[in-house]
Amino acid sequence: MKLKLNIGKHNILISAIVLILSVLLLINRLLAAGPVQLILENGQAVPVEGASYFSLNEVLFLIVTAWFGGMSFLYIFLLSNESGAPALKENTAAENKSTAMLAANLLEGDEKILLQKIVDNNEILQRELILKTGFSEPKVSRLLDKLERRGLIIRKRDGMGNRVLIK
C-alpha cells in the first residue's frame, strides 16, 4: 500500500509557516545587539556599544530569509485572490439568474420565451435559440437586440456566431 502525501491541500499552511518563520528570523537578526565593549573610567566599567556591521554570511542569510518570506506572502496573496473570485462569480451568477427570472416574468410574448430559454441554459449559442424556439433567424436577432438594449443579456462573438449570456 502506497502512502500518498497530498501537499496540494496544505500549500497555504506551509506558506504561512514559512512566512512567519522568515519574519521571526529577520526580526531576531536585525534586532540582535551588537558587540559591547567595557571601558574603565575613573575605576568604573562603562559599557560602550561598538559599531556593528553585518558579515557576508549574515547578509546572505537576510537576503534568503527575506526572499522566502516574500515568496510565501505573494503565494498566499495570489491564492486568496484566486479562490475568492470564483465564489464571488458564482454568487453573482445566481443573483443574475434570479433577476433574469424576475425580468422574464415581467416580459410578454416572444421576448419572454426567448429570455426563459437563455435563463434555463445560463449561456447558449444564438443558433441554438433558433432551434429551441422555432423562431426565424431575423426574429431571434431582433428580439435579442431588444433584450440587449434593456440590459438583460450580453452577446459575445463565438466563432461564426454569438453566445448569449445573462447580464
For residues 20 and 133, give the distance between their C-alpha atoms in angstroms, rounded to a whole number.
Answer: 60
What's the grid cell of residue 102? 424576475
CA distance 111 to 86: 31
Sign of CA dihedral 117, 97, 164, 88: negative
The per-residue pLDDT for 88 is 45
User: What letter would DSSP give residue 120?
Assistant: H
SS in 3 state form for 56-109?
A: HHHHHHHHHHHHHHHHHHHHHHHHHHHHHHHHHHHHHHHHHHHHHHHHHHHCCH
> What is the pLDDT at residue 82?
61
> Going residue by residue through the chain (167 aa), what tens digit of pLDDT does each one get?
455 555 556 788 888 898 899 999 988 888 887 777 778 888 788 877 776 777 888 889 989 999 999 998 888 888 776 655 444 455 566 676 777 777 777 778 888 888 888 888 888 899 999 998 899 999 999 999 988 888 888 899 988 888 988 87
The per-residue pLDDT for 107 is 79
- The answer to whether 151 touches 115, Cβ cutoff 8 Å, is no
| pLDDT at 114 (0 to 100) | 87
DSSP β-ladder status, 44-49 and 123-125: unpaired
pLDDT of residue 60: 92
pLDDT at 87: 47
Q: What is the 3-state secondary structure (H, E, C) of 9-72?
A: HHHHHHHHHHHHHHHHHHHHHHHCCCCEEEEEECCEEEEEECCCCCCHHHHHHHHHHHHHHHHH
Which residue in 47, 52, 56 sits closest to 35, CA to CA? Answer: 52
Domain over 107-167 is classified CATH 1.10.10.10: yes
Whether the pTM exceeds 0.75: the reply is: no
Residue 108 and residue 104: Cα distance in Å, rounded? 8
pLDDT for the residue 142: 92
Write down the pLDDT at residue 65.
92
pLDDT of residue 166: 83
The residue whose grid cell reads 496540494 is 8
pLDDT number for residue 7: 53
